[in-house]
Amino acid sequence: MALLDLLDWSLISSTVRMVTPILLAALGGALCSRVGIFNVGLEGLILVGAFSAIVGNHFTGSLLLAVLFAAAVTVLFSLLFAYMTIGLRANEIVVGVAINFLALGLTTFALRAIFDVKGAFYDKDMAGLPKWQLPVIGDIPVLGDVLSGHSPLVYIAFVAAILLHLFFTRTVTGFRVLAVGMNHTAARSIGLKATRLQVLAIVVCGVLCGMAGAQLSLGQVTMFSEGMTAGRGFIALVAMMLGQSHPLGIVASSFLFGLMDALSIRLQGLSLPTQFTAMLPYVLTILAMFFLKDKGASTASGQQSTR
């Protein structure tokens, strides 16, 4: 494979597919950030969603119920995070890390308890998420190849980014959410139900992370393997900070990480070591953190001061 063959339109199409789990999780993290909560548990929430989607699909045979089940189970984990951080006022960083380890251990145990397998579960008869062929756009050369033929969750992710942007800029509730994130105490003093808005933001974050996991296990590979998120939740955190918790900025930053993810797969065709190509998204993550070292620290300290 020539180097120029890597840069074609199919790479962009692959990027759109790869960016979806990162984008959905980053939007959920941004929603939590807007209410003054730094949710480090995105990695665990995506993993729970990925496993729950496989379980739901295996036992119900319905892709819709599988996605809904993934969202519901992830919401339960999100409520645990909300109870610990808001109800018990535990440190959100510690709770988020605990959620990540809990999800990793629990999915590994459940994989053996439910499916009686180790490492990964794959069923050749299991159907993945359908590919939607857009009626008009799909007939346009190049543009149709890039935008058409993706799973429904891919389109939902980009629609969610637009809706979240409109929510923050055009709705009263969105302004109230921003007010809670800016100053929790002041928001409560003017009668805003700050705690309720924080819990609601965490619940919606759980729904988005559940869909991210469903896209990962049903939209990309139609299987589940232990730790299959492979750091995507942490990449979503970086994408959220790089986009400054702005939905449209998050789309751009997530697309950058998705491009690196898709490019790393393409580079394997050049006979490069898999370990080298797989580290590209994480190298980009480290580089992004150098640009965010001051801004990220100030954001985290600001969120702690509002609580």
32-73 pLDDT per residue, tens: 999 999 999 999 999 999 999 999 999 998 999 999 999 999
Position 300 scores a pLDDT of 44
Most confidently predicted of 63-67, 245-249, 282-286: 63-67
Structure confidence at residue 278 (pLDDT): 72
One-character DSSP codes across 204-229: HHHHHHHHHHHIIIIIISSSEETTTT
Q: Cα separations (Å) of 300 from 243, 245, 270? A: 15, 12, 41
- Positive or negative, the CA dihedral 13, 15, 19, 21 is positive
Q: Tell me the torsion sign for CA atoms 273, 275, 278, 281.
A: negative
User: In CATH, what class is 3-301?
Assistant: mainly alpha
pLDDT score of 6: 63
Backbone torsions φ then ψ of 245, nearest 5 degrees? 60, 20
Give the confidence band of 292 by pLDDT, cuts at 50, 70, 90.
low
- For 284-295, the DSSP string reads HHHHHHHHHHHH
Higher-confidence residue: 297 or 149? 149
296 has a pLDDT exceeding 70:
no
Residue 304 has pLDDT above 80, yes or no: no
Percent of the chain clearing pLDDT 70 (strictly above): 89
> String of b and e for 80-111 (b: at least 16 CB within 10 Å)?
bbbebbbeeeeebeebbebbbebbbebbbeeb
pTM of the model: 0.88
Q: What angle do CA 5, 9, 11 make, to 5 degrees?
A: 70
When pLDDT is averaged across residues 14-19 and rounded to a whole number, the result is 87
Are the C-beta atoms of residues 292 and 238 closer than 8 Å to each other? yes
Can you tell me the distance from the alpha carbon of 277 to that of 149, in angstroms, rounded to the nearest whole number? 26
Query: In 10 A of CB 290, how many CB atoms?
Result: 8
pLDDT grade for 307, boundaries at 50, 70 and 90: low
- Asked if residue 242 lies in contact with residue 253, where contact means CB atoms within 8 angstroms, the answer is yes
Burial class (CB in 10 A: 0-12, 13-18, 19+), 307: middle
Name the residue among 185, 250, 206 with its Cα closest to residue 36.
185
Q: List the chain domain ranges.
A: 3-301
Res 299 pLDDT > 50: no
Query: Residue 55 gets which letter from DSSP?
Result: H
Give the model's pLDDT for residue 306: 47
Contacts of 49 (CB under 8 A, 6+ apart): 70, 71, 73, 74, 209, 210, 211, 212, 213, 214, 216
Which range, 24-28, 275-279, 296-300, has the best average confidence (pLDDT)? 24-28
Q: Is the pLDDT of residue 80 over 50?
A: yes
